[in-house]
Chains A and B, each alone.
Chain A
Amino acid sequence: MRRRPGYFRVAAAVSAAMLRHSARNPFLPWILLAAPLTAWILVGRMEIPIHSFLASAFTWCIPTALVSGWLESAERERIALIIRGTRADSKSMHIPEILFPLAAGSVPAISMILSSPPSGGIPWQLWTVIFSSSLTAVSASLLLERHLGTGGYLLNLMGFMAQASRSSWAESWIFQLPVPQGYTLWTLEWSRGRATALHGDFYAFFSVIAGVGLTVLAAKILNASR
């Protein structure tokens, strides 16, 4: 009798396919470079430390770059065809589809923060927000793309660029709560003792709610599009 399926090999194949797919994605330079740079340079918030901004960009933009276009890609279609009907089953594909972009976004963000930690140390809220935001980035990008197509990319990137806005309305909690793209930056700002619309606890709480809630919805999309 054969043993259990090689889940790690399946996960490695899915991760490699996501990397290959994102490398060919025409939106990649926009997601990874143009949007964060535009946000940082043009929106007029030059006082934000580059480390904080990069951490925020890694948290959101890397997962977004990895999952954009992935649902309809030939790579995914082929892996799904191979895996379905085997002992591994489709779920062994869905887990790395979420966890790999999450890790690809949160690990560089944490490295960036560790290279220049806030003076009082890294608060627990920041750890929570980074992982939850990356999870939200994966799920939100999948959901926006599925329901809005190219408009979804635009909305996603606009949300990201809006986090650096200094308009008074952009600094109110009513604006900030529905924009999970900015949770990491605002929590970082809060941890560095700057004035933010909300306490770090709220960002952590809502990032977990958004991350878990949207992931449940995104998992349904992944299941349905196998």
Chain B
Amino acid sequence: MNSAVLLSTSELVIRKDSRKPLDLALLSGSMLAALGDETTVAPELGRILAGRSGPVSGRILPGDVSTIKEKADPGMTVGYVPGETRWPKRISVRAHLELAAAAAGYPVRKTTEAVNGMLEWCSLEDSGERSVTGLPREKQYLVSFATTCISVPKVLVLQGPCPTEVHELLEDLCEYGSAVVVCVPGIEHIPRGTDRVAVCDGSDVRKILRFEELAEASSALTRLRVGFLPALPREVMESLTGIRNIIAVEKGYEFLYASLSPTVTNLVNLARANSRSIVSLEVRPPTNAELLEYLTGKEDTGEANLFCEEDLDTSG
């Protein structure tokens, strides 16, 4: 796969209270998820990368920072799919796509072919003649996605969460060689095929990590919530092996576990042995704040701790 840098940022400051400028490179065929809800910089980062709003300082550059042409316009190759948009009434899906095809430079005779191809790729064949306002939200998002993708952008920025139908299409785009940036409010919305995840807080992109690293952190923080009827005493619950950080919640307990399948088996056995029924069982992914705390708590500054406290303690 060609892994050329399609878009890069240089000393990008997203908000005024940012502590550290962001240097980021989007490679061809890669997918980056910006993780963070509306209160974080994640949606703003998406808008800035798509050229929809300006950063506090720094630059967005098409290509690699080191080989950049100063006058190149990144907006020409960056597609943007907004999360929520208003749609004009009584305009069909096909009409939207035809306009997008015209703007993208398809000749008149090839427009129908391109539009039909896009409708088929996005599974919108049945909705082609329908008004967009009459479609459910997921389909409206797909129409928005299709109108952006008909120009085959080199970089595609999406404000999520995107419907699951889009996830597969994003992988197709990456295979084609485009770079994709998806802004998602929670880890459960991260599309499959994501390579890197930028974990954001209210002022910065705090950490960029590989998807596998995030999955590892997430599984370490994922909690299981179980409800018993009648209630199970805490001592009995604490006797269960492989669980930790037990918190009492309404009608049950919530805890961290080492491995899901043995834990559930043990829970069922525990309930049977104590003549209890399991009335609810829920796997709860970590919140963004928990994840951020976990990831940044593990951060190594890279500086050797030359002056340990005991060495400096001269009182004894």
Interface set of A (CB-CB < 8 Å, partner B): 2-6, 9-10, 13, 17, 20-21, 24, 73-75, 77-79, 81-89, 92
Q: State which of A6, A10, A78, A88 has its C-beta within 8 Å of the C-beta of B88.
A: A78
Interface residues of B in 65-113 (CB under 8 A from A): 75-80, 82, 85-91, 95-96, 98-108
Tell whether, in the assembled complex, residue B88 and residue A74 are in contact, meaning their CB atoms are under 8 Å apart.
Answer: yes
Give Cα distance in the complex from A77 to B51, angstroms. Answer: 16
Which 10 residue pairs of A and B lie closest in terms of their CB atoms, listed nearest first? Answer: A6-B102, A9-B102, A88-B103, A74-B86, A2-B105, A86-B103, A75-B88, A74-B88, A86-B151, A13-B99
Q: Which of A5, A20, A24, A81 contacts B102 (CB under 8 A)?
A: A5
Chain A positions within 8 Å of B87 at CB level: 74, 78
Task: Select one of B79, B85, B153 contacting A78, CB under 8 A.
Answer: B85
- Which chain B residues lie closer than 8 Å to A86 at the CB level? 76, 100, 103-105, 151
- Given A9-B108, A87-B151 in contact, is the A82-B103 Cβ separation under 8 Å? yes
**In the complex, what's the smallest C-beta–C-beta distance from A206 to chain B, in angstroms?**
37
Chain B nearest CB from A12 CB (Å) reads: 9
Q: Does B12 contact A (CB under 8 A)?
A: no
Out of A73, A82, A85, name the residue touching B153 (CB < 8 Å). Answer: A85
Contact B85 A85 (CB under 8 A): no
How far does the alpha carbon of A77 sit from the alpha carbon of B96 in the complex, in Å? 12
Distance (whole angstroms) from the CB of A95 to the closest CB of chain B: 13
Q: How far is the CA of A191 from the CA of B127 in the complex (A)?
A: 57
B147 at the interface (CB under 8 A from A): yes
Q: With contacts A17-B88, A75-B88, A78-B87 known, is A85 near B102, CB below 8 A?
A: no
* B148 within 8 Å of A (CB atoms): yes
Given that A82-B147, A85-B153, A87-B151 are known contacts, is A6 also in contact with B103, CB under 8 Å in the complex?
yes
